[in-house]
């Protein structure tokens, strides 16, 4: 089973936190204090992160289906029928897959730094990574990506946190996630149709240049989705602007409480 951290609050609904690639529950350290005041919080470590099983310990190769199945197993183990979800970057992609697999288990979703499609520059970056990944240290590749995605001075803290956490991953685990990049472009397909009744709040920094334009276009037709843009902020907005992020996300979660459904 995946490693998880559970922060209990009697009688409260559950919020499940899903981190990005190379991260772990530490990337939500600026949210935990505020979230724990109102919710039971479950912070899950994805395969290959923290003390969760390495990716090669699973019989099938790593896939979004495998990851979502493992997350639902944690919920089943904790007897959580339905929860709110908060994810950042890769975590937001995984939440889209969770929605498509079983939207009835989702009370609402907050998706930070969400990726629905790759633009030309991000495709070029991934192609370059595919070419060089075989003969450079994996952390050089991750650091290069982090610096390109989060290039500005105000992105330094979030960039450093993700790089430092990624150093705890093995090469095999990190490259297994890198191999999922060609599936990311299909992650958002059918979300609006399958999860049309799931309330969704997308939160992005205005400096999330690689992803924000496609995100705006793709969610425009979803009547249950809204987008909040944080000024002077990059890809990992929950770390860079925690005060703004916490207010936006908690206002949204509180509005979508459904105690009867989650008990």
Domains in the chain and their CATH numbers?
Answer: 4-262 (3.40.50.1820)
**Confidence band, pLDDT 50/70/90 cuts, at residue 259:** very low
The long-range contacts involving 90-94, CB below 8 angstroms and separated by at least 24 positions, are: 90/18, 90/19, 90/20, 90/21, 90/46, 90/177, 91/17, 91/18, 91/19, 91/20, 92/18, 92/202, 93/64, 93/184, 93/187, 94/18, 94/46, 94/64, 94/67, 94/68
pLDDT value at residue 258: 66
- Phi (first) and psi of residue 203, to 5 degrees: -125, 125
Contact (CB, 8 A) for 234 and 228: no
**Confidence band, pLDDT 50/70/90 cuts, at residue 120:** confident
Q: Residues of the chain with pLDDT > 70: what percent?
A: 98
Q: Is the pLDDT of residue 261 over 50?
A: no
pLDDT value at residue 242: 97
Q: Across residues 142-161, what is the average pLDDT? A: 86
What pTM was estimated for this model as a whole? 0.92
């Amino acid at each position: 089973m995946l490693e998880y951290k559970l922060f209990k609050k009697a009688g409260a609904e559950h919020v499940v936190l899903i981190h990005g690639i190379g991260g772990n529950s530490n990337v939500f350290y600026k949210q935990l204090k505020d979230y724990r005041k109102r919710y039971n919080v479950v912070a899950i470590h994805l395969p290959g992160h923290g003390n969760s099983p390495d990716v090669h310990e699973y019989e099938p190769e790593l896939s979004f289906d495998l990851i979502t199945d493992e997350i639902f197993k944690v919920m089943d183990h904790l007897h959580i029928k339905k929860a709110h979800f908060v994810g950042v970057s890769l975590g937001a992609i995984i939440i889209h897959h969770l929605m498509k697999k079983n939207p009835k288990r989702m009370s609402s979703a907050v998706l930070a730094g969400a990726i629905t499609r790759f633009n030309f520059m991000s495709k070029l970056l991934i192609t370059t990574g595919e070419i060089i990944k075989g003969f450079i240290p994996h952390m050089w590749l991750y650091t290069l990506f982090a610096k390109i995605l989060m290039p500005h001075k105000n992105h330094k803290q979030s960039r450093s946190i993700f790089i430092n956490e990624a150093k705890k991953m093995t090469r095999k685990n990190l490259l297994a996630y890198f191999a999922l990049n060609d599936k990311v472009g299909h992650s958002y397909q059918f979300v609006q149709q399958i999860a049309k009744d799931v309330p969704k709040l997308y939160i992005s920094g205005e400096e999330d240049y690689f992803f924000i334009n496609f995100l705006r276009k793709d969610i425009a037709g979803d009547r249950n989705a809204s987008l909040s843009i944080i000024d002077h902020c990059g890809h990992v907005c929950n770390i860079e602007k925690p005060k703004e992020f916490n207010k936006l996300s908690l206002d949204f979660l509180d509005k979508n409480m459904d105690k009867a459904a989650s008990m």
